[in-house]
């Protein structure tokens, strides 16, 4: 059996992925609302003994319609693929989203993508999914198209949190902008996690006794700048507690784009060039411009102690969280 496949919808799917159940949507964040849709797709696939797939659009359609407006993408494609793989999907199929693609009629989307490229037997979407030129196609259209073309359709209602508010990617983006990583994790169903390559810096950290693995996030990632208790996962899957600073380092640098720097506890070794993940467990404080490095080091020791204490008491929020950050 082949493992998880991450494909582009430019050619008909391989035979082992055809006749599947496909969850359609952008699923940015793969949050609890998305998971409600995704779980229905997985259940349908098990029942029918066919593969479960996700069809998403890349780049995010909002980037194509509003190129002037920066969009904080919660789960760039590799992270989305990782989450979907952990949930049990066989593949993530990305439909390249261009202005031309957006101009296809709803009927052409059904015949070209769902029928010809994916060869689906069943579609699952959220209650608000629209597709085709000028959002022609909605849930009712998809149901009727399914009857015409011989595939089943399941529509999943809006998922609400414990306070009866609809869980949405934009709510989660707003929480992360405020550093509210605990609340964001509650809506995501797992700890917010970023993935990037470890790059070189000024090599000052090691002289302070706090070597830090530096990562560059996308410029649109408007996570609040500050110090966080984190977990750091290496490319080999090993997990370490740590404390990270996301910011511009006003004490030593103070220019350029914010950098994510993680001091990994009880670790020594070379991380340069490795693609690693950082999961955010708690916001500790905002960055401070210190008068000198001695004062910075005193504060970093306090941050370390605080992060160790916080991380000693955490428990997984879900199976997905256990797989990602435990």
Ligand X SMILES: Nc1ncnc2c1ncn2[C@@H]1O[C@H](COP(=O)(O)OP(=O)(O)O)[C@@H](O)[C@H]1O
Ligand Y SMILES: Cc1cc2nc3c(=O)[nH]c(=O)nc-3n(C[C@H](O)[C@H](O)[C@H](O)COP(=O)(O)O)c2cc1C
Site residues (vs ligand X, CB under 6 A): 198, 200-203, 205-206, 211-214, 263-264, 267-272
Q: Which of ligand Y, ligand X, none does residue 3 bind (CB under 5 to 8 Å by kind)? A: none
Q: Which of ligand X, ligand Y, none does residue 123 bind (CB under 5 to 8 Å by kind)? A: none
Sign of CA dihedral 213, 87, 20, 29: negative
Question: Site for ligand Y (CB under 6 A): which residue of 102, 204, 239, 310?
Answer: 204
CA distances from 110 to 105, 113, 213 (A): 9, 6, 46
* Partners of residue 275 on adjacent β-strands: 197
Q: Which residue is nearest to ligand X (CB)?
A: 205
Q: How far apart are CA 318 and CA 324, in angstroms?
A: 10
Task: Give every CB contact of residue 284 below 8 A, 6+ residues apart in sequence.
Answer: 226, 227, 228, 229, 243, 303, 306, 307, 310
Determine the interface stretch with ligand Y among 46-54, 144-152, 243-251, 271-279 (rule: CB under 6 A).
243-251
CA distances from 232 to 20, 268, 290 (A): 35, 13, 26
Q: How far apart are CA 296 and CA 151, in angstroms?
A: 62
What is the x/- site pattern for ligand Y, positions 117-146, by CB under 6 A?
Answer: ------------------------------
Q: Which of ligand Y, ligand X, none does residue 186 bind (CB under 5 to 8 Å by kind)? A: none
Position 205 contacts ligand Y (CB under 6 A):
yes
Q: Which of ligand X, ligand Y, none does residue 271 bind (CB under 5 to 8 Å by kind)? A: ligand X
Using CB under 6 A as the criterion, which residues of the chain lie in contact with ligand Y when the complex forms?
A: 201-205, 210, 212, 214, 227, 243, 245, 249-252, 261, 263, 287-288, 296, 300, 303
């Amino acid at each position: 059996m082949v493992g998880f496949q991450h494909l582009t919808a430019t050619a008909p799917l391989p035979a082992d992925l055809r006749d599947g159940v496909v969850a359609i949507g952008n699923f940015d964040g793969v949050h609890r609302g998305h998971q409600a849709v995704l779980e229905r797709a997985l259940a349908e696939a098990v029942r029918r003994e066919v593969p479960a797939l996700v069809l998403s659009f890349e780049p995010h359609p909002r980037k194509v319609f509003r190129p002037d407006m920066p969009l904080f993408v919660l789960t760039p494609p590799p992270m989305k693929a990782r989450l979907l793989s952990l949930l049990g999907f066989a593949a993530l199929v990305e439909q390249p989203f261009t202005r031309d693609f957006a101009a296809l009629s709803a009927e052409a989307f059904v015949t070209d993508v769902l029928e010809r490229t994916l060869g689906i037997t069943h579609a699952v979407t959220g209650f608000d999914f629209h597709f085709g030129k000028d959002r022609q196609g909605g849930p009712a259209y998809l149901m009727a198209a399914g009857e015409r073309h011989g595939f089943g359709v399941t529509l999943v209602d809006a998922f609400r949190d414990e306070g009866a508010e609809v869980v949405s990617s934009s709510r989660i983006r707003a929480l992360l902008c405020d550093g509210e990583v605990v609340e964001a994790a509650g809506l995501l169903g797992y700890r917010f996690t970023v993935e990037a390559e470890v790059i070189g810096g000024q090599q000052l950290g090691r002289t302070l006794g706090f070597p830090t693995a530096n990562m560059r996030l996308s410029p649109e990632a408007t996570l609040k700048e500050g110090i966080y208790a984190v977990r750091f996962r290496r490319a080999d899957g090993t997990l370490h507690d740590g404390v990270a600073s996301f910011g511009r380092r006003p004490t030593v640098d103070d220019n350029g784009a914010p950098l994510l720097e993680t001091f990994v506890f009880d670790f020594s070794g070379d991380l340069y060039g490795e693609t690693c993940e950082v999961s955010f467990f708690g916001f500790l404080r905002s960055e401070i411009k210190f008068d000198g490095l001695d004062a910075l080091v005193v504060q970093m020791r306090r941050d370390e102690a605080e992060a160790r204490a916080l991380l000693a008491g955490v428990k997984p929020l879900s199976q997905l969280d256990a797989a990602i950050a435990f």
